[in-house]
Amino acid sequence: MMAPDRILGDYGNSNERCEYLTLAFSPLSVPLRTRWRNNGLSADFLGDYVTTFLPAASETASAGKHQAEIRHAVTYIANELLENAMKYHAHEVDIPIRLRLELADDRITVSATNGAVAGQAEHYRTFVERIAPENAGDLLVRQLEDTAAGNGSAESCLGLLTMMNDYGAKLGWRFEQHGAHPGVTMVTTRAILPLKDRCGERA
Amino acid sequence: MRNISGESFEVRLEEDNRTVFFKGALRLSGMEDYAPILEMLKGTLMNPGAPIVFDLRELDFLNSSGITMFSRFVIEARERADVSLQFLASESIPWQSRSLKNLQRLMPSLEICLD
């Protein structure tokens, strides 16, 4: 049985006073395959949205490169989180999938929340407990070898490892039992992108 | 020439059967959807000796399932002593400078040419 309300990794805190944007999707409204196209559109939207809050690309060449890097990182992370949330959501219950973007001076946070049946949530939790920032690179190469050998279950976790290893994201997870559906665990995966250069570039 | 395309992407195998051109955003939903592209890529391994070139300079986006597809191909290629592999990449496309190096860890002889 899943222990309720567990937090793992670098989960951080939500700051309600910062800029944020939440998108919600009802899993029952259209089939997953039809929904898939929306994942890309939503991820692209979040990537475009954050650029408004970064130094203008026209200011300097380095600002332009920085903006393109952040925009891509947000798009990649949002796309991966949303793909996983869609794939592993408990489809038989009407619980919305949420994608949230938070903008603070020193970081951008992207998180996705979905309802998962208890066994699926437990499987995911067991995997994320093995991930630590210092072993993400080695784990990533091992996962690439595993998935190439046909171990399909490792496939979705590859996205998490690339976020950490390739984009420097800090990841955290929250597992909570759903109040109205005891067999469903609400799983939130949160990726934090530090923005050390943002103020410096603006000055 | 063989071509696989979707709403947001195009993958084209050139007449020489060793050059593959990628364009757009590849964000298919899993290995099942990537299977036809992977099969096309594996077709390049039929020409022993000739270098295989993947031109990624117009591939703006690749999801992690796409990375898995490339890793499957690279792992199959490295088993073949007669295969040399070259990726043409662009520094202005962020995922390429960030993620292609992982494929090089699978196959150290893989050459990545960044524009």
What CATH number is given to the structural domain containing B6? 3.30.750.24
Q: What ipTM score was computed for the predicted complex, to two decimals?
A: 0.95
- Distance, in Å, from the CA atom of A184 to the CA atom of A157, rounded to the nearest integer, reads 21
- Please tell me which of the candidates A40, A68, A162 has its beta carbon nearest to residue B64: A162
Q: Is residue A144 in a domain?
A: no
Sign (positive/negative) of CA torsion B47, B64, B68, B82?
Answer: positive
Residue with tokens 């959807």: B33
Q: Is residue A185 in a domain?
A: yes
Flag whether pLDDT at B87 surpasses 50.
yes
Q: Is residue A59 in a domain?
A: yes
Measured between beta carbons, the chain A residues lying within 8 angstroms of B95 are 72, 76, 166
For the segment A55-83, the average pLDDT, to the nearest whole number, is 89
- Domain region containing B69: 2-114
Q: Give the number of domains in chain A.
A: 1
Q: Which of A69, A68, A67, A78 is nearest to A101 (CA)?
A: A78
The pLDDT of residue A201: 41
Q: Decide if A80 and B64 are in contact by the 8 Å CB cutoff.
A: yes
Q: Is residue A158 in a domain?
A: no
Q: Give the number of domains in chain B.
A: 1
Helix, strand, or coil (residue B4): strand
For the segment A68-88, the average pLDDT, to the nearest whole number, is 95
CA B99 to chain centre: 12
Measured between beta carbons, the chain A residues lying within 8 angstroms of B94 are 68-69, 72-73
Q: A62: burial class by Cβ within 10 Å (0-12, 13-18, 19+)?
A: exposed
- The more confidently predicted of residues A65 and B85 is B85
**A62 to each of A54, A68, A167, A201, how far by Cα in Å?**
12, 10, 18, 8
Flag whether pLDDT at B76 surpasses 90.
yes
Q: Decide if B94 and A69 are in contact by the 8 Å CB cutoff.
A: yes
- Domain region containing A82: 6-117+170-202
CA A109 to chain centre: 9
**A2 to each of A90, A176, A193, B73, how far by Cα in Å?**
15, 9, 29, 38
Q: Decide if B7 and A36 are in contact by the 8 Å CB cutoff.
A: no
Q: Is residue A70 in a domain?
A: yes
Is residue A169 within 8 Å of A191, Cβ to Cβ? yes
For the segment A9-16, the average pLDDT, to the nearest whole number, is 80
Flag whether pLDDT at A184 surpasses 80.
yes
